[in-house]
C-alpha cells in the first residue's frame, strides 16, 4: 500500500466566471493571455490553488489582481475533470461564478490586469482550455438561480428602479416578461422594498427607487416564466 502523498496528484486550478451588468448588457470578465498555451487567446481568470489556501481565498487572490476590492457574490459552480482540458498536463478545475456591479469596481490598472476586459455574453470570443463549457454552465446556473433566489440586485446599484430590475431579468433570461406582472410578483414576494426616494429627472423627479430587502425570508421568492 502506497503511503499518503506518494500518489501523483492532478494539479488543481480555480477558475472564475465573473458576470457584470451595465447598460442593458450582461458581460463576463475575460483575460487575454500573454503566455502559452493559448497565447493571445481569451480565457477565464484563474490560478492554481496553493497548498494552504481555501477556494474562496484563491478567488479573492485572482480577483484582486483584476478588479478593485468590494462586495461581490461568489458561489461554487462545478468541478471540471476532462483529462485533456489543459495541454500542459492533468489539471482539475474547481470553478466559481461571481456577480459584480461593474460600476462599483474598476478593472485594476496593474500589469497583471491590463489584459482583462468585459465581454457581452451574446458575443463571446473563442475561449481557451474548456472554458467554453465552464462559461455555458455558469450562464445556465445564473439563469436558473435568478428565478428562485434574489440575486439580481448584486448586479445593480444599491438603489434601482423597477424598470432597471425588469430589464435585468429580461436581459439575463433573454426573454420578454410582462412588465406589470413582473412588478406585482416582485413586490408581493418582498424581494425589494421601496426606499421612498425618487430618481431625479431633468425637470422633475420620476420613478421610485427600490432596494433589496435584507429581511427577506429566503424562500418567499419564486419567479415563474413561460
- Tell whether residue 215 is a contact of a second copy (CB under 8 A): no
> Counting Cβ atoms within 10 Å, is residue 88 exposed (0-12), middle (13-18) or buried (19+)?
exposed
Q: Which does 196 bind (CB under 5 to 8 A by kind): DNA, a second copy, none?
A: none
- Tell whether residue 161 is a contact of DNA (CB under 7 A): yes
Span from 51-59, 113-121, 127-135, 202-210 in contact with DNA (CB under 7 A) = 202-210
What mask of x and - would describe binding to a second copy in positions 55 to 74, judged by CB under 8 A?
x-------------------
Q: Pick the closer one to a second copy by CB: 1 or 202.
A: 1
DSSP-derived 3-state class of residue 60: helix
DSSP-derived 3-state class of residue 204: coil
Q: Work out how close the CB of 142 gets to a second copy at its nearest, in angstroms, rounded to a whole number.
A: 17
- Tell whether residue 168 is a contact of a second copy (CB under 8 A): no
Q: String of b and e for 2-38 (b: at least 16 CB within 10 Å)?
A: eeeeeeeeeebbbbbbbbbbeeeebbbbbbeeeeeeb
Span from 24-32, 88-96, 193-201, 207-215 in contact with a second copy (CB under 8 A) = 88-96
Q: Which does 94 bind (CB under 5 to 8 A by kind): DNA, a second copy, none?
A: a second copy
CB neighbourhood size of 212 (10 A)? 19
- Tell whether residue 157 is a contact of DNA (CB under 7 A): no
Among 8, 203, 214, 217, which residue interacts with a second copy (rule: CB under 8 A)? 8
Q: String of b and e for 156-181 (b: at least 16 CB within 10 Å)?
A: beebbbbebbbbbbbbbbeeebeeee
What cell does 134 get?
Answer: 465552464
Do 117 and 107 contact (CB within 8 A), yes or no?
yes
Among 40, 81, 158, 198, which residue interacts with a second copy (rule: CB under 8 A)? 81
- Tell whether residue 226 is a contact of DNA (CB under 7 A): yes
Q: Work out how close the CB of 184 gets to a second copy at its nearest, in angstroms, rounded to a whole number.
A: 19
Q: How far apart are CA 120 and CA 102, in angstroms?
A: 13
Among 40, 144, 181, 195, which residue interacts with DNA (rule: CB under 7 A)? 181
Amino acid at each position: 500500500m502506497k503511503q499518503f502523498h506518494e500518489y501523483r496528484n492532478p494539479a488543481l486550478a480555480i477558475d472564475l466566471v465573473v458576470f457584470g451588468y451595465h447598460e442593458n448588457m450582461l458581460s463576463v470578465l475575460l483575460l487575454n493571455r500573454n503566455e502559452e498555451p493559448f497565447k493571445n487567446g481569451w480565457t477565464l481568470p484563474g490560478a492554481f490553488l496553493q497548498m494552504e489556501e481555501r477556494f474562496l481565498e484563491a478567488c479573492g487572490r485572482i480577483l484582486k489582481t483584476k478588479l478593485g476590492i468590494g462586495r461581490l457574490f461568489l458561489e461554487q459552480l462545478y468541478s471540471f475533470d476532462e483529462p485533456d482540458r489543459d495541454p500542459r498536463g492533468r489539471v482539475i478545475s474547481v470553478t466559481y461564478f461571481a456577480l459584480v456591479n461593474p460600476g462599483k469596481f474598476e478593472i485594476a490598472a496593474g500589469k497583471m490586469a491590463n489584459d482583462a476586459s468585459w465581454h457581452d455574453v451574446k458575443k463571446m470570443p473563442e475561449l481557451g482550455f474548456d472554458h467554453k463549457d465552464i462559461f455555458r454552465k455558469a450562464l445556465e446556473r445564473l439563469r436558473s438561480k435568478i428565478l428562485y433566489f434574489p440575486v439580481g440586485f448584486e448586479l445593480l446599484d444599491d438603489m434601482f428602479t423597477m424598470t432597471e430590475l425588469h430589464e435585468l431579468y429580461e436581459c439575463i433570461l433573454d426573454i420578454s416578461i410582462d412588465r406589470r406582472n413582473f412588478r406585482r410578483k416582485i413586490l408581493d414576494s418582498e424581494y425589494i422594498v421601496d426606499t421612498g426616494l425618487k430618481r431625479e429627472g431633468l425637470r422633475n423627479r420620476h420613478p421610485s427607487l427600490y432596494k433589496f430587502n435584507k429581511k427577506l425570508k429566503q424562500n418567499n421568492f419564486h419567479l415563474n416564466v413561460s
